[in-house]
Structures are given as structure tokens and as C-alpha cells.
Amino acid sequence: MSNVSRTGTDDVNNATSRTRFGRSVESKAQLRDAATLSSAIDGTETLNIYRLEPIAAPEDPHWDNAPNQGTVIVAARTAGDARIVAAGNELDFMEVDAAPAEGVTTSNASAFRDDKLYTVIEIDRGRTDLKRGILEGEVSVDTIVPAQVGR
């Protein structure tokens, strides 16, 4: 059953729009911005510096799924990218012989990617003298705990 209704004497409403992606002022601006961000001039990339700070209380049950890594400072493209950079430095099931299933990654379960555990604060922007990655702080690689010990 369709939720399309016809009112008036206009052509049949087939629930499509005559507009095309990329023609609005906003779409053109977003496409321009994306092209600028994705292209590096002279091999450099404009990065921002972010601080990932734990915000959940130590007894918060969200910490049961991922350990608190403390404060980490990263160079990244965006706040979301900062979470990915930090999480990318943790050990993943894909990197050890303990994968829960073929092709399954645990990087999405990182505490850095949980907005209830970590907040991201921009502390500098527009830097071209940095490489994307962790600048300060320690990210432990022992985030994977085997379910069966002593086998």
C-alpha cells in the first residue's frame, strides 16, 4: 500500500521529486567542501587537534564493554575521525587469531566511539604540519581478553 495521495489536477503523483542531487546551493557547497577536504595540497593534509576525554563515571556499566584508556590527543580531520583514529590504535579481533567470525571487526565496540564514555574536544584547527594519528596519550593494545583461559 502506498502513502502517495493525489490532490488537485496535477499529474499523477509517483512520490518522486523533480529536483536532482547536487543542484541546490547547499549541495554545491557540500561537494566543494568535500573536494577540498579530500585533496591534499603538496602532499599535506589540513588536520585539527582533538582531545578525547572520558566522561562516564568509573562505575558506569558502559565501561564493562571497553576499558577506560584515559585522555588521548589526536590529529584528525573531524571530531568523528578523531574517534576513529583513537579506536584504530586498539587491538582488533581481526589482528589476532581470535576473530569471533570471519570478517567481523571489533573496532566499532571501542570506548572511543561511544559518546556516553568519551567526549571529543577540539583544541586546535587548520594544521598542516601534522600526520593523522595519536599525538599524546597511551592506547593499550590489551583490550581483547580471551574468553577461555588456560586451554
Q: Establish if 32 belongs to a structural domain.
A: no
User: Alpha-carbon distance 98 to 86, whole Å?
Assistant: 22
**122, 79 Cβ separation under 8 angstroms:** yes
Which phi and psi (to 5°) does residue 85 adopt?
-60, -45
Question: Is 150 a domain residue?
Answer: no
Domain contains 116: yes
Alpha-carbon gap, residue 98 to 85, rounded angstroms? 23
- Give the pLDDT confidence score for residue 93 in this predicted structure: 47
pTM: 0.62
51-63, pLDDT tens digit by residue?
Answer: 999 999 999 998 8
Q: Tell me how far apart the alpha carbons of residues 114 and 134 are, in angstroms, rounded to a whole number.
A: 18
Structure-block grid coordinates of residue 38: 579530500
The verdict on residue 13 lying in a domain is no
Domain carrying residue 134: 45-94+109-142
For the chain, how many structural domains are there in total?
1
Contact 123, 53 (CB under 8 A): no
Whether the predicted pLDDT of 108 surpasses 80:
no
**pLDDT attached to residue 66:** 79
